[in-house]
Amino acid sequence: MYRFYINSTINDKHYGDMLRVFFSEEEFEVLTLDYPKGTTLPLGPDSFFVNSDKSEDRNDIKTELYHLGRSITGFTPEWGILTGVRPLKLAYEIRESCRTHDEFMSLMKNRFLLSDAKLNLICEIMDYQDRFIDEPDGKSALYVHIPFCPTKCTYCSFASEELCSASEADRYLDSLIKEIDYCAKLTVNRAVTFESAYIGGGTPSVLSTSQLELLLDRLTEAFAIDPASIEFTIEAGRPDTITSNKLRCLSKRGISRISINPQSMHDRTLEHIGRAHTAAQIEDTFRLAKEYDFNCINADLIAGLYDETPEDFNYSLQRLVELGAENITVHTLSVKRGSKLRESDPDFYRRDTGRVDKMLKDAHDYLLSKGYHPYYIYRQKHQMGALENVGYCLEGKHSLYNVRIMEEKQTIFALGAGGIGKVYDPVSNSLSRIPNVGNYRVYIDRIDEMLERKNKYFI
């Protein structure tokens, strides 16, 4: 057990996050104390006194922890001392404070210790957003959560469950429609306008065609939304849930974007992660979706799944490009609390991280060669190699919803079990969260309380 005694500070979670880049939860402990500046303590070989100078700058302390972790483990994190979810948001804030591009680059590299590769990636994403993405201009986003999947993936910790019957989905939709109607009255009466709508999960396409029709018709009518006039996305993530009738339902209603998320194009991996479909079904689903008039098909892949090699991952990526995915998000496996993988192998994400790093670098080079651009980025705890998730798109095929989530400069009305609404205050440049309960059964039982929470959007 390594013990890090941090001087003159509270037990800030950021310091634990920095150390988790190097150590598992069981390998270290953070303790706080308060000694005069310049104090040295006689500690054992696995104990370290941090911040003897009593700096009040969090980044100074994280830098000291970074160097200690690096000297103990030999691991050099490419993201330096950055541990947050939104590195791009910080980069924009830093850029605004700099007079020149060189000053920005120097600060990101020398103050935050980013590698050249990650700093260049940040600059590529900023360049795309500067050229193609405008400010939200006061418009909002709408999110609707469907908490059902045909099976539960081993790495998943989202608010979703395996759908046991159509009647359960009907019961959930009854409550969801109550929330839709209630929230719609609030927004329509206050002339709220929407830039995007996103139906996620879970796997929304696990609903039947008639259930999808009911949901979409009620949603668009209640909020007075023309799907064809905004960015409207629905996750149709599993090929075993997608049919011609469902795609026709979506296309007929003007849905512009769908997501088909294979995660891998290898049958052995799909079986290992708990998917009940094959790679051939994924290919058939892409071909079927291309028969309909969708503006963009999104797809997700995960780097780091089980025994996959870089060659395995590159094959999956190449197949998605060949199948015509216009928007591809390359995820790094994150072993989250609440997932089956975390329970069975909590340190999986700490092993063989060089393999995953190569997957991401190969993906970046390959996608750029095929005309894709990196356009948004985020990070998660317990990701292999403390790496990242990056969205790539063909020019103009980016997801505004994904960008806005990372910017945190837009109000998001979130409906359904597990939905987390956010109210943006442009004066203070801050967000307030309005969460619904995650368990769909509790959501149904407490629907009146969920309706009452919608009023907080306008307090």
Which residues share a beta bridge with 424?
A: 431
Rounded to 5 degrees, what are φ and ψ at 65?
-65, -40
Sequential pLDDT tens for the chain (459 residues): 999 999 988 777 889 999 999 998 889 999 999 999 988 888 989 999 999 999 999 999 999 999 999 999 999 999 999 999 999 999 999 999 999 999 999 999 999 999 999 999 999 999 999 999 998 889 999 999 999 988 877 776 666 788 878 999 999 999 999 999 999 999 998 999 999 999 998 899 999 999 999 999 999 999 999 999 999 999 987 899 999 999 999 999 999 999 999 999 999 999 988 888 999 999 999 999 999 989 999 999 999 998 899 999 999 999 999 999 999 999 999 876 655 655 666 666 666 788 999 999 999 999 999 999 999 999 998 888 899 999 999 999 999 999 999 999 999 999 999 999 999 999 999 999 999 999 999 999 999 999 999 999 997
pLDDT score recorded for residue 136 = 85
Amino acid at 278: T
Tell me the C-alpha distance between 239 and 261, whole Å.
8
Six token digits for residue 51: 């911040």
What contacts 42, CB < 8 A, 6 or more positions away?
Answer: none
Report the alpha-carbon angle 396-402-407, nearest 5.
Answer: 105
pLDDT score recorded for residue 213 = 97
Which residues share a beta bridge with 201?
A: 146
Q: DSSP class of residue 265?
A: S
CB 388 within 8 A of CB 404: no
pLDDT score recorded for residue 338 = 56
CB 148 within 8 A of CB 169: yes
Residue linked to tokens 């950055």: 82
Six token digits for residue 11: 């037990």
The tens digit of pLDDT for each residue in 330-344 reads: 999 987 665 565 566
pLDDT score recorded for residue 203 = 93
Domains of the chain: 2-73 (no CATH), 87-127 (no CATH), 140-415 (3.80.30.20)
Closest by CA position to 426, among listed 92, 143, 135: 135
Tell me the C-alpha distance between 249 and 212, whole Å.
8
pLDDT score recorded for residue 339 = 58
Alpha helices in 203-339 (DSSP H): 209-222, 244-252, 267-273, 279-289, 310-323
pLDDT score recorded for residue 276 = 85
Longest Cα separation, the chain: 72
pLDDT score recorded for residue 158 = 65
Would you call 346 exposed, middle or buried from its count of C-beta atoms within 10 A (0-12, 13-18, 19+)? middle
Would you call 327 exposed, middle or buried from its count of C-beta atoms within 10 A (0-12, 13-18, 19+)? buried
The tens digit of pLDDT for each residue in 226-262 reads: 999 999 999 987 899 999 999 999 999 999 999 999 9
Which residues share a beta bridge with 5?
A: 31, 49
